[in-house]
Structure 1
Amino acid sequence: MNRILCGLAANPALPPELVDRLIALAAATPEPSSPSDPAGHLAEVLVWRLDERTDLGPAQVAALAARDEDTATRLARTGHLRASDVDPAVWPLAALALIDEGRGLPEWARRFAADPDPSLRRQLASCPGLPADVEDALAADADPEVAAELAWCATSAPALALLARHPHAEVRRAVAGNEAAPPAALAALLTGDALEPARSCLVCDSREIPFTHGPYCQDAECDLLPGAECDGTHGSTLHDTWQRALSNPATPPAAVAAFAEHPSVLLRWAVAEHPGLPAHVYARLLAGDPLPGIRACVARNPGTGPEVSRVLAADPESDVRRAVAHHPRTPFDVLGRLTLTTRLGPHPLPRISAATPEELAEGAASANARVRMLVAHRHDLPPELRDRLAADPDASVAKAVAPHQGLTPERLRAMVALHGQQVIARVAANPDAPGDLLTELARHEPPVRRALREIASHPNATAEALLPCLADVKARVRAAAHPALPPGIVVGLLDDPDPEVVEAAAGNPALPSAVMADLLA
């Protein structure tokens, strides 16, 4: 019954008076008293399902919001509650959610900037578009974590330049990861030039130094990360600051290049990810670094050129070669060689996505079927190229192009006739597949289970196509929610032994409203 109620709460066809009944049920049930309290947890799930509905009226929203502040906050984020509906003194989290969504009032931001609760000030600091005076107040906050949150989320270059000089190392660490920070400030965080040393960090704020936080801390109240350490120089925080600044694409390349031979693996890794370095720096990383992970970072880095791709395409590590294939400017001939030695995955590669029409035509005409398959994964192919690949004699090529829009039913049937079970699931996933073709595919012997799962959630599926899907465990859940399923079948699935099927059937808009009313009686 719990699954039925949850399904009904999400059912788009549930009549308003039955929505009211579910809201009353959820509101009347107290919050869970313990993790094993089933009634309280049912009420929570009902509320989550109900506040996701798009048809709630003002009275229904008010009744839901009155249950607890978490619900009011979700309703604020989903647009159900407006600023005029929220009192920040009663629902501070909902008011902050509205500020974060850009629908709060400016005076609320000023109110929370002076709130004695630092957690509310931290949440405010993460909100975009704050008034300048509020940003100034948060930057000067006595709690460094409030200023750090602002430093992580702010977009004002002058404000970030000031925060980069903050006396607390945690604030500087946050600035280092913000791509809106001025390049000069990011460089100073790496070099220390014209920058006074930080006076404190989260480690020396809470521990006598020197201190190193071990991996097996027994203090339940401790929130320091494993490995956090400070001897007065704020070592672990400074290291994290460097790592973030090195990974930040706004950091000047000259400041980043100085760390290319640093003994820290994490810092060299961050250098390898930076997209704007001179070619000789990438070459130094390739020549001198034994770690495959760093070579892979260089291989996929958009700042490297084709010459790097050619070198790393012969790397003994498959992860490095796979990274070469995901570089947006890898030469086509290199991709062709990689298909022979490396599994490249089913998704379109950046190089294929960026290919010109001439390059696509060249790839589609390749004698290498794996290159043709890479081209076939691109979903915006010219129609004549798409149709040519759909008729490809290699099943892997046809399988890649089968889900593309624009293929005619005749073309889809021809693919099935030529390649059979190898392409049926992908043809079933085609958004243009008509209902009669889906029925044919659903009745295929032997059944193709992946195809049944695609058909069960296909918008064009008919009742005839859906009925065979009920025989597959995974497809059954999807089919139970499909509005084309006959109402009598949907009602019968309310007694299914699988609770997921029961919930899906209860959420099916084909469920008769009289049955819904009986279930809630």
Structure 2
Amino acid sequence: MPDEDTRYLAHLCGLADNPNLPGHLLDKLVAMTSGELDAAQDLFGVPKWDIPEAADIPAIESTGEVMARRTDLSADTYHQLAADRRLWVRLHLARNPALPESLLWALADDRAVRPELAWNPSVPLRLLGEIAVTAKLPHILLPRVASATTSELRWLAASPDWQVRALAAVRRDLPKDVVDRLIEDPEIAVVQALVAAKNPRCSPTLLHELAQRAASACPHIAQHPNARVDTLIACLRVLPARRHAARHPNLPPDMITELLDDVDLLVAEAAAANPALPPKIMEAVLAESC
């Protein structure tokens, strides 16, 4: 059975998520979770603990997290949460799509929070571009890029900064002119982003040339449907790409069969999962376990 303190904290978390919590109590709860309430009383005036002592209790932190992700709060409340001394509250807040644009720009001045804004669906595209240049973002489709219009995608692809061009490259449904432009990009990381997105306009020749130029691209190349046999063989020589190449259906059946005995069990497992593995070999593998 939970003790009364734990139950009380659970109640706070519930109140934080209650859309009908009166405004004056919401303000008090925000102050409480940010450590600004200088009283040893709970939300309703009942003595509890010193708030600084309770500030690091996980359930109290969960209360701040719940409020930071709510999309129905006032601009003033969001600004108050943005000033919270605890980093994790500001990190959750940074992804909230209901934040005013001015607050998004203000949060960008917080170096610890700035990269988190990249995952906010409402982040201004110009701010996202600035974040991409100053923070190392993964080659994945970010929410704001996923909703970008054709003209916005062209704006990203025409950026003088390769990090911004790479943002557009991960969209699979890019206009033909944008893909053609990015395929010829002088920065290899942009082309790698196209490959990582399995863009169908990446030709077998392009993939092979890229594999020769950059071994770091091989894990993505080995997963691209257009990778040809000699490219996959080259990828097999790159340790991080081996298990992806072993699973690729364009690999010759005899080579897939050989990979069943690979010393790396992840590679052997990938070979067994390859749809091009001959049925008679599948049968033989099953017979071994009988």
Which category describes the TM-score, using the shorter chain as reference length?
A: 0.7 to 0.9
**Structure 1 counterpart of 2:118, from 296, 307, 325:** 325
CA-atom RMSD in angstroms: 3.0
8 Å CA contact 1:256–1:271 kept in 2: the answer is: no
Which letter maps to 2:102?
Answer: E
Matched, 1:346 2:139: yes
The question of whether the paired residues in 2 share the 8 Å contact of 1:416 and 1:424 is answered with: yes
Q: Of the two structures, which has the highest relative contact order with CA contacts closer than 8 Å and spacing of 6 or more? A: 1
Aligned match for 2:161, one of 368, 376, 379: 368
Tell me the secondary structure at the aligned position of residue 444 of structure 1.
helix
Q: Cα 1:486–1:423, aligned 2, differ >3 Å: closer, same or farther?
A: same
Partner of 1:260: 30
Deviation at 1:423, TM superposition (A): 2.1
Alpha-carbon separation, structure 2, partners of 1:399 and 1:446: 18
Q: CA deviation at 1:361?
A: 0.8
Structure 2 residue 110 is matched with structure 1 residue 312: no
Rate the CA distance shift 1:377–1:469 in 2: closer, same or farther, 3 A: farther
Structure showing greater Rg: 1
Task: Check 1:476–1:236 CA distance in 2 against 1; reply closer, same or farther (3 A cut).
Answer: closer
Equivalent pair of 1:299/1:324 in contact (CA under 8 Å): yes
Question: 1:432 matched to which residue of 2?
Answer: 226
Other structure's SS at 2:29 match: coil
Deviations 1:130-166 (A, max 9, x none): xxxxxxxxxxxxxxxxxxxxxxxxxxxxxxxxxxxxx
Between the aligned partners of 1:253 and 1:380, the Cα distance in structure 2 is 45
Match of 1:359 in 2: 152
CA distance in 1, matches of 2:124, 2:223: 31
Q: Which residue matches 1:460?
A: 250
Partner residue of 1:273 out of 63, 69, 73: 69
1:37-436 aligned within 5 A = 224=1, 228-230=2-4, 235-247=5-17, 250-251=19-20, 254=23, 256-262=26-32, 263=35, 265-266=60-61, 267-287=63-83, 289-317=84-112, 320-403=113-196, 404-407=198-201, 408-416=203-211, 419-433=213-227
CA distance in 2, matches of 1:413, 1:247: 52
Judged with a 3 Å threshold, the aligned counterparts in structure 2 of structure 1 residues 236 and 308 are, in CA distance, closer, same or farther, namely same
Normalised TM-score (structure 2): 0.76
Equivalent position of 2:39 in the other structure: none
- How far apart are residue 313 of structure 1 and its match? 1.2
Q: Distance in 1 between matches of 2:249 and 2:236?
A: 24
Q: Any gaps of 5 or more consecutive residues in structure 2?
A: 36-54
Q: Percent identity?
A: 28
Distance in 2 between residues matched to 1:402 and 1:253, nearest whole Å: 51
Distance 1:237 1:366, change over 3 A: same
| Distance change >3 Å, CA 483–CA 294, structure 1 → 2 | closer
1:469 CA drift (Å): 4.6
Structure 1 spans left out of the alignment, 5+ residues:
1-223, 491-507
- Which residue of 1 is the match for residue 271 of structure 2? 479
Per-residue deviation, 1:279: 0.8
Offset, 1:363? 0.5
The one-letter amino acid of 1:345's match is P
How far apart are residue 260 of structure 1 and its match?
A: 1.7
**How many Å separate the matches in 2 of 1:335 and 1:487?**
49
Residue pair 2:259, 2:267 contacting (<8 A) in 1 also: yes
Aligned to 1:39: none
* Count of aligned residue pairs for this structure pair: 259
- Per-residue deviation at 1:376? 1.3
Cα distance in structure 1, aligned partners of 2:209 and 2:182 = 12
Aligned equivalents of 1:369, 1:465: Cα separation in 2:
38
Question: Could you say which residue in structure 2 is the equivalent of 1:37?
Answer: none
DSSP-derived class of the 1:372 partner = helix
Find the aligned partners of 2:11 and 2:148 in 1 and give their Cα distance. 38
TM-superposed deviation, 1:244: 2.8
Superimposed CA distance per residue, residues 91-139 of structure 1 (whole angstroms, 9 cap, x where no aligned partner): xxxxxxxxxxxxxxxxxxxxxxxxxxxxxxxxxxxxxxxxxxxxxxxxx
**Whole-angstrom distance in 2 between the partners of 1:362 and 1:306:** 20
Cα distance between partner residues in 2 of 1:295 and 1:427? 37
User: Aligned to 2:130, what secondary structure does the other structure show?
Assistant: helix
Contact 1:360 1:375 (8 Å CA) reproduced: yes
Q: 1:158 matched to which residue of 2? A: none
CA contact (8 A) 1:429 1:455 kept: yes
What SS class does the counterpart of residue 443 from structure 1 fall into? helix
